[in-house]
Structure 1
Amino acid sequence: MNAETSWVQTTFRIILGAFMTFAGIGHLTFQREEFLAQVPRWLPSDPAFMDFVVLSSGVVEILLGLTMIFLYRHKVKVGIVLAVFFVLIFPGNISQYTNGIDAFGLDTDQKRLIRLFFQPVLILWALWSTGALGYLLNKRK
């Protein structure tokens, strides 16, 4: 399961990997409180549990970010896994919007709504930059 990618795709894969690594570090350190705002409100509201969600998702983001950068031989698989991860965390963004929670400068309903439309962009970015989108489309044929 491998796909040829252009230098542009490779560049964007590395940028996304760096972004994910940085976001994961933020989960564990300087943005921890901000990320608590994205824990869906339908999950248990125990502060220790919510903190666990933030910390564990941060670790996952760091691992995904580093694999995007360094495990290029498995980039198609990693792209698919990252796309699935983006789908799995989307309820946090929906929760932030529906509950009117301010975080990351998203301090109005309009800003929080606009943010929702960026999740599909991240999903496509993960799939395209790793060649997974082409792989999946060719597999269907």
Structure 2
Amino acid sequence: MAKTQNKTQVSDTNVDDFIAAIDHPVRRADAVALNDMFKRVTGWQPRMWGPTIIGYGQYHYTYDSGRAGDMLGTGFSPRKASLSVYILPGYSDFSDHLARLGKHRIGKSCLYINKLADVDMAVLEELVRAGLDDLATRWTVTAT
């Protein structure tokens, strides 16, 4: 099997500079609030992954197929259309949390939020912790 690298790699971009450069004032304020919340909940410092993802912690995985790589433990991206929050590792059912969260959409491992005012931040914090705890039952997650 040919070795391929993940498209999403750690970068040297400064997280605070990235957040400060977000044009939309609500999206920028939400990014500041999420950064503060993720640092508080995880106890880890953020790192940029690729050009737009702010990640906390990381883990190394090796699938049965032999594919291996490194990925952020949890994090978010303040995209133009919505906030993409990477807190659902895809292994467990978090429907009880999601039912209490507020307005959102979900993908395979992402939670999409239009703006933080649409959700209950206490429930979002619970989801971050629950997602990391679930991920740590499968892979060793290390601090950044």
Task: Give the TM-score normalised by the residue count of structure 1.
Answer: 0.28
Instruction: Give the structure with the higher percent strand.
Output: 2
Rg comparison, structure with higher value: 1
Instruction: Give the structure with the higher percent helix.
Output: 1
Task: Give the TM-score normalised by the residue count of structure 2.
Answer: 0.28
